[in-house]
């Protein structure tokens, strides 16, 4: 039960912290907006009041009393009050009732009861005291009730806006959370199907650039590779079972026959020799499989060095030249320039050896085998052509899988264990090379293009 609730608590806590940060940011923003607006309006009032200082500080006594008395009778006298006071603070004229105890020439706030029709109202003012040369002190006021009403309206507006923003943020957060949970549930259900063995399932994507879509695409690519590897393992297992059944059946049948019929030591010796031969067949299969696994592990990349591909090609051709002569086959080696690649010389020798052995095996007597090493489109490339039956277009990918034998060639060749081209494909992958099987018209053409290998030499296009 605790395990079920803990993710929810974590989710609510995260959401709560996001809301706290969001609310704090919104309150700080609205507070700054309120402060800037209110400060600006008061600053404008203060600038007007300071302008009155320059106007009244040099006015005479009688003129000050006359002007202030006239100003206090205007229609706007309640919002722009004036007052004249003598040296003792006694009011001489104006509608400001008393002299505030505030410093001169500094704006200040004060409150005064002013007539409003038949009643008196409490008004708020911003004022300044102007000392004159005649010894009088003039109080100049400016009503700020409208500013305070605007401030209260602004606060209400900001509070309503904040509430609506929080409501919208909560709704959007809940909607996004629901959408994310729906996606996560779909991904979880698909993941459980994949874990149950349905490796052909893929995580759902919405076709957008969303983070979950990008992550799902990466996982789907990984699942494609896992499915391919699992299929290869299944194929290898099935191939091993199928390929080893024949030698093991022969081995058992031979031993059964010897037990029933043989009576002499020579018969038993022949049976042991036959059993050893069949065991060697089985061991050769496992040796080839282990070699493929060792190559694909990639550990040998640490020992890569510069390898002269043309030299390795000539060495393999020289080794198999007696075999070609025995089968009455012509073999041509074309290496016009030095071709260098980064790799393992033993692995590259083994790959070329398997390709040439395949060509010798399937090319009929009187045929031609051509071996080329050069540079094509800026990349080192190896090419082996023969004039045999070739490989059908639909089987050119399948022949690279372990234990695969083309039905069209099984009648021609009975030897081999179906791992030669698989070994070549593994060596090509570990060297970053592309293997291509083409039609030689007639026969088969196999190319190894080393796209990730550094090279030295002059580019030569293959014909």
**Per-residue pLDDT tens over the stretch 322-355:** 888 888 889 889 988 888 988 888 888 888 888 8
> Is residue 418 a part of any domain in this protein?
yes
Least confident stretch, 133-142, 157-166, 190-199, 269-278: 269-278
Are 23 and 104 spatial neighbours (Cβ–Cβ below 8 Å)? no
Q: 306 with 254, same domain?
A: no
- For residue 10, pLDDT beyond 50: no
Residue that finishes a domain, picked among 221, 253, 287: 287
Nearest to 38 by CA among 152, 143, 124: 152
Return d(Cα 380, Cα 448) in angstroms, integer. Answer: 8
Look at residue 3 and tell me whether its pLDDT is greater than 80: no
- Last residue of one domain, picked from the residues 254, 287, 320: 287
User: Which element (helix H / strand E) includes 232?
Assistant: helix 211-261
In a domain, 382, yes or no: yes
Return d(Cα 83, Cα 91) in angstroms, integer. 7
Asked whether residue 220 is assigned to any structural domain, the reply reads: yes
Within this chain, do residues 340 and 415 fall inside the same structural domain, yes or no?
yes
Structural domain includes residue 427: yes
Q: How much is the average pLDDT of 109-125?
A: 79
Asked if residue 222 and residue 279 are part of one domain, the reply reads yes
CB 380 within 8 A of CB 341: yes
Strands (E), 9-102: 82-85, 91-94
Give the residue from 68, 142, 50, 59 showing the smallest Cα distance to 105.
50
Contact indicator for 336, 311 with CB cutoff of 8 Å: no
Q: Say if residue 305 is in the same domain as residue 397.
A: yes
Average pLDDT of the segment spanning 94-115: 86
The span from the CA of 247 to the CA of 389, in Å, is 28
DSSP symbol at 400: G
Q: Are residues 222 and 336 in the same domain?
A: no
Pairing assessment for the beta strands 119-131 and 137-143 based on DSSP bridges: antiparallel
Into how many domains does the chain fold? 2
Residue bearing the bigger pLDDT, 123 or 413: 123
User: Is 52 a residue whose pLDDT tops 60?
Assistant: yes
Q: Residues 235, 340: one domain?
A: no
Q: Are 123 and 112 in contact (CB under 8 A)?
A: yes
Given this model, what pLDDT does residue 302 score?
Answer: 64
Q: What is the pLDDT of residue 241?
A: 65
Task: Please indicate, yes or no, whether residues 311 and 430 belong to a single structural domain of this protein.
Answer: yes
According to DSSP, residue 114 is labeled E
Average pLDDT over residues 81-101: 87
Q: How far apart are CA 153 and CA 28, in angstroms?
A: 18
Closest listed residue to residue 42, CA positions, set 153, 150, 159: 150
374 Cβ contact partners less than 8 Å away, ≥ 6 residues apart: 334, 335, 336, 337, 339, 380, 381, 383, 460, 461, 462
Structural domain includes residue 404:
yes
Within-domain flag for 438? yes
303 and 278 together in one domain? no
pTM for this one? 0.47
CATH number of the domain where residue 267 is located: 1.10.287
pLDDT tens digits for 169-199?
A: 788 877 877 877 887 888 888 888 888 878 7
Q: Quick one: pLDDT at residue 5? A: 41
Q: Is 314 contained in some domain?
A: yes
Residue whose C-alpha is closest to residue 234's, from 402, 419, 421: 402
pLDDT band at residue 42, thresholds of 50, 70 and 90? Answer: confident
Instruction: Give mean pLDDT, residues 138-152.
Output: 87
Domain hosting residue 281, numbered range: 211-287
Q: How far apart are CA 130 and CA 104, in angstroms?
A: 6
d(CA 52, CA 297): 92
Question: Are 453 and 404 spatial neighbours (Cβ–Cβ below 8 Å)?
Answer: no
Residue 214 — pLDDT band, cuts 50, 70, 90? confident
Q: Is residue 355 part of a domain?
A: yes
State the pLDDT confidence band at 371, using cuts at 50, 70 and 90.
very high
More confident site: 360 or 280: 360
Tokens found for residue 193: 């199907």
State what percent of residues in the chain have pLDDT above 70: 81
Give residue for tokens 């090493």. 373
411 or 266: which leads in pLDDT: 266
Q: What's the pLDDT at 6?
A: 41
Q: Categorize the per-residue pLDDT at 8 as very low, low, confident or very high, splitting at 50, 70 and 90.
A: very low
C-alpha 270/C-alpha 281 separation (Å) is 17
Mean pLDDT of 62-76: 83
| 123 — pLDDT class (breaks 50, 70, 90) | confident
**What CATH number corresponds to the domain at position 345?**
3.30.565.10
Do 266 and 314 lie in one domain? The reply is no
Which of 287, 307, 324 represents a domain boundary (last residue)? Answer: 287
Query: 437 and 306 in one domain?
Result: yes
Note whether 413 and 438 are same-domain residues: yes
Structure tokens at 187: 């991904």
Q: Average pLDDT for residues 35-41, to the nearest whole number?
A: 87
Assess whether 433 and 379 both reside in one domain.
yes
Q: What is the pLDDT of residue 408?
A: 55
Give residue 415's pLDDT.
52
Query: Once rounded to an integer, what is the mean pLDDT over residues 57-84?
Result: 83
Q: What would the pLDDT profile of 244-296 be if each residue is shown by its tens digit?
A: 676 777 777 777 777 777 677 777 777 777 778 777 767 766 666 666 666 66
* 12, pLDDT greater than 60: no
Mean predicted lDDT score pLDDT of the chain: 79
> What pLDDT does 406 receive?
61
């Amino acid at each position: 039960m605790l395990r079920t609730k803990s993710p929810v608590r974590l989710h609510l806590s995260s959401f709560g912290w996001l809301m706290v940060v969001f609310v704090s940011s919104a309150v700080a923003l609205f507070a700054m907006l309120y402060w800037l607006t209110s400060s600006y309006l008061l600053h404008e009032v203060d600038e007007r009041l300071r302008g009155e200082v320059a106007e009244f500080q040099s006015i005479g006594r009688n003129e000050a009393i006359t002007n202030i008395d006239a100003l206090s009778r205007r229609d706007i006298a309640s919002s722009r009050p004036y007052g004249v006071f003598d040296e003792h603070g006694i009011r001489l004229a104006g509608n400001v009732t008393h002299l505030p105890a505030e410093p001169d020439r500094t704006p200040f706030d004060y409150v005064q009861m002013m007539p409003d029709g038949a009643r008196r109202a409490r008004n708020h003012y911003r004022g300044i005291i102007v000392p004159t040369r005649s010894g009088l002190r003039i109080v100049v006021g400016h009503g700020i009730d409208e500013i305070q009403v605007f401030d209260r309206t602004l606060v209400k507006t900001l509070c309503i806006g904040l509430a609506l923003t929080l409501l919208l943020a909560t709704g959007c957060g809940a909607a996004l959370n629901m959408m994310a949970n729906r996606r996560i549930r779909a991904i979880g259900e698909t993941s459980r199907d994949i874990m149950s063995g349905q490796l052909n399932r893929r995580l759902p994507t919405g076709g957008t650039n969303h983070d979950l879509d990008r992550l799902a695409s990466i996982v789907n690519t990984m699942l494609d590779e896992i499915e391919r590897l699992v299929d290869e393992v299944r194929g290898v297992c099935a191939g091993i079972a199928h390929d080893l059944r024949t030698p093991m059946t022969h081995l058992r049948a031979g031993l059964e026959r010897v037990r029933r019929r043989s009576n002499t030591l020579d018969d038993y010796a022949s049976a042991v020799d036959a059993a050893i031969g069949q065991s060697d067949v089985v061991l050769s299969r496992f040796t080839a499989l282990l070699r493929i696994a060792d190559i694909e592990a990639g550990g040998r990349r640490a020992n890569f060095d510069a390898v002269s591909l043309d030299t390795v090609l000539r060495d393999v051709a020289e080794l198999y030249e007696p075999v070609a002569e025995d089968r009455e086959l012509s073999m041509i080696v074309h290496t016009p320039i030095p071709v260098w690649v980064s790799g393992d010389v033993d692995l590259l020798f083994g790959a070329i050896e398997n390709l040439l052995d395949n060509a010798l095996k399937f090319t009929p007597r009187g045929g031609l085998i051509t071996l080329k090493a050069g540079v094509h489109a800026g990349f080192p490339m190896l090419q082996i052509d023969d004039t045999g039956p070739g490989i059908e277009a639909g089987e050119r990918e399948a022949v690279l899988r372990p234990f695969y034998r083309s039905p069209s060639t099984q009648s021609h060749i009975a030897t081999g264990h179906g791992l030669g081209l698989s070994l070549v494909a593994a060596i090509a992958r570990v060297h970053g090379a592309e293997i291509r099987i083409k039609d030689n018209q007639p026969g088969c053409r196999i190319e190894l293009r080393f796209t990730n290998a550094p090279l030295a030499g002059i580019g030569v296009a293959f014909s």
